[in-house]
Amino acid sequence: MTSLLWSLVYCVPLFLSDVRGTYPLGAPDHQRASAQSYAQSRSNARPPHRTLDPSKTDSQCRSRPLDLVFIIDSSRSVRPGEFEKVKIFLADMVDTLDVGPDATRVAVVNYASTVKIEFLLKDHLNKPDMKQAISRIEPLAAGTMTGLAIKTAMNKAFTEQSGARPRSTKISKVAIIVTDGRPQDQVEEVSAAARASAIEIYAVGVDRADMRSLQQMASVPLEDHVFYVETYGVIEKLTSKFRETLCGVDPCTMGHDCEHICVSSSASYHCKCRSGYVLNGDKRTCSLKEVKVKVKVVEDPCKCEARLAFQKQTQAAIQQLTARLADVTGRVEQLQSLVGRG
């Protein structure tokens, strides 16, 4: 009986921890109830322990091109097992995105008392290499200099020298900050400067994260840019929320009026025609391409055909003359015969 009571004491906190969900800032009671409903609907079996597998890639959506920088807190309060969950979250995000030189580029800034750029936007342009680099990241420990990390990202990670695209390309610059504590430096002014330089900031707070600081860092509207999770164990659930935000919808799959082929282009699309057709003036319908037949007269440089025809005509004329000559010769012979008889 005593052992049963101890089992209940041990298991009840685990169960309560499991039913806690993830939710954005605002209306926590409502969101907590939704998270509990979600947890109650899950199977009683716990999912297997996940590890980061760099070789496994699975693109979940077609994202719009981004210059994306993760700014991750690895201070002393983040235990090694929790930091591994942050790395799995980063790897899941990479899988979600359409990564490539002309698509989304990713960088990671790691911080504690100091700041370390783990890799730049130009360093890894495919998912396996990027996830391998994420798997090698180690925590820095010590303090929480979040403001310094944001400043470093703005001045070094988001530059064209580091692989960011020029502003003329209109490719969005996005920073996602993950932290579980209170910054030990000022974040309000440096965050405002980053937002003024066209960097969109998402702030993710975990466990003891300071809500006011998250609000000071994030872009507006805050309800779309500030998220909170109670433990690192459920941070992976945020992947679906960011998928909805960062992934673009293919305009061609949402319906189009192209007669032949729809080609997606950023947030819009344009029409193309199949081979042998041309696009009409309405830019939607197609017409059969007019085929112009060119007749080329080929002359006989040596006049062989004319010569052959002349030869045939000459031979016919000779044959006619020969026939007439034979006829005349025959008549002459007949006359000579008659004269001889007389």
Alpha-carbon span 122 to 67, nearest angstrom: 10
CATH T-level fold of 20-31+50-248: Rossmann fold (3.40.50)
What's the maximum distance between 2 C-alpha atoms anywhere in the chain? 169
| Burial letters 260-295, b for 16+ CB under 10 A, else e | eebebeeeebbbebeeebebeeeeeebeeeeeeeee
- Residue 342 has what pLDDT? 59
Tens-binned pLDDT, residue by residue, of the chain (342 aa):
444 444 444 444 444 443 344 445 544 443 333 333 333 333 333 344 555 555 554 554 556 799 999 999 999 999 999 999 999 999 999 998 889 999 999 999 999 999 999 999 999 999 999 999 999 999 998 899 999 999 999 999 999 999 999 999 999 999 999 999 899 999 999 999 999 999 999 999 999 999 999 999 999 999 999 999 999 989 988 988 888 788 765 566 666 788 888 887 655 678 999 888 899 999 889 998 876 656 565 566 666 676 777 777 888 888 888 878 877 777 777 777 666 665
Quickly tell me which residue has 């004319």 as its tokens.
306
Phi-psi region of 277 (alpha: psi -120 to 50; beta: other; left: phi over 0): beta
- CATH 2.10.25.10 range(s) for the chain read 252-288
Q: Which fold has domain 252-288?
A: Laminin (2.10.25)
Report the amino acid identity of residue 143: G
pLDDT of amino acid 320: 83
Q: What is the C-alpha separation between 33 and 66, in angstroms, rounded?
A: 34
Distance of CA 147 to the CA centre of its chain: 31
Phi-psi sector, 324: left (phi>0), alpha (psi -120 to 50), beta: alpha
Residue 3: burial class (beta carbons within 10 Å; 0-12, 13-18, 19+): exposed
DSSP per position, 131-184: HHHHHT-----S---HHHHHHHIIIIITSGGGTPPPGGGT-EEEEEEEESS--S
* 306 contact partners, CB below 8 Å, separation of at least 6: 300
pLDDT at 156: 97
Distance (Å, whole) CA 10 – CA 173 = 46
- Predicted confidence at residue 227, as pLDDT, reads 95
Q: What is the pLDDT of residue 133?
A: 97
CATH 3.40.50.410 in the chain: give the residue spans: 20-31+50-248
CA atoms within 13 A on the CB side of 142: 9
Q: What is the C-alpha separation between 174 and 88, in angstroms, rounded?
A: 19
Name the one residue in this structure whose structure tokens are 């319908």: 285
Q: How distant, in Å, are the alpha carbons of 14, 84, 141, 204 from that of 233?
A: 12, 10, 19, 14
